Amino acid sequence: MLGLPEGIGACLFDLDGVLTETATVHAAAWKDTFDGFLAVWAKRTGTPFAPFDPVRDYDLYVDGRARADGTRTFLQSRGITLPEGEPDDPPEVETIHALSNRKNAILLERLRTGGVKVYPGSLRYLRAVREAGLRRAVVSASANTHEVLKAAGIADEFDVCIDGIVAEQERLKGKPAPDTYLAAARRLNVAPSEAAVFEDALAGVEAGRAGNFGFVVGVDRVGQREALLERGADIVVGDLAELLDRV
């Protein structure tokens, strides 16, 4: 019924791009953040301005990663090194934390004005998982996970939530490290081999494979099926509802 192998007793879901239509909102917020910074950087250094690509750069450098990790990884791809700064740096300062805070402020404003939508197929699948008696966790690098879940009306669908706040408190490494998914499995009292990971991010699929989880489902919303398979997905679907139709 669920398109999963026998022996799977828990489902661990990424949030943005798997359950909610917020990956594009994140990508747009990153673009606003980086383009503003890169324009100033190009003028100051006399180098050409190359804008942030909300598809390629987002997929390769920021999707699925903790906010500061995404900032750092993207800037490294452009050969730019900034000081780390402090977690409470104001958005206008040029530090890793400041740029990350700038992105978060833009994201929250976009979520406030645009709302949060759940993929209908994901909602169907979530309810089927619950009816089948499997345990459920949401695993996201976002510190805004609880707010997004509430806005989407699906906060009660999960037994466990591992988000950016929990990761910081417990010093869990972000994706592509498997730490956050392993933490969710521990809280659900299941072995990794008994859990399925659902991810749309390349880094997230890598995390699922690195953690030796029983099944890794890649969700392709943007045309990266082959890349998801290369990173370790056991199967790639365009929508979770496709799993309900598998024989």
Catalytic residues: 14, 16
Cβ-contact 14, 139 below 8 angstroms: yes
Q: For residue 97, give both structure tokens.
A: 């934390």
Quote the CA–CA distance of 175 and 126 in Å, as a whole number. Answer: 23
Neighbour count for residue 152 (Cβ, 10 Å): 21
State the Cα–Cα distance between residues 75 and 182, nearest whole angstrom: 28
CA gap 71, 131 in Å, rounded: 39
If you compute the radius of gyration of the chain from its CA atoms, what whole number of angstroms results?
18
- Describe the crossing of helices 145-152 and 96-114 by its angle, rounded to 10 degrees: 10
State how far the Cα of 181 lies from the Cα of 149, in Å rounded to an integer.
18
C-alpha angle 193-124-225 in degrees, rounded to nearest 5: 60
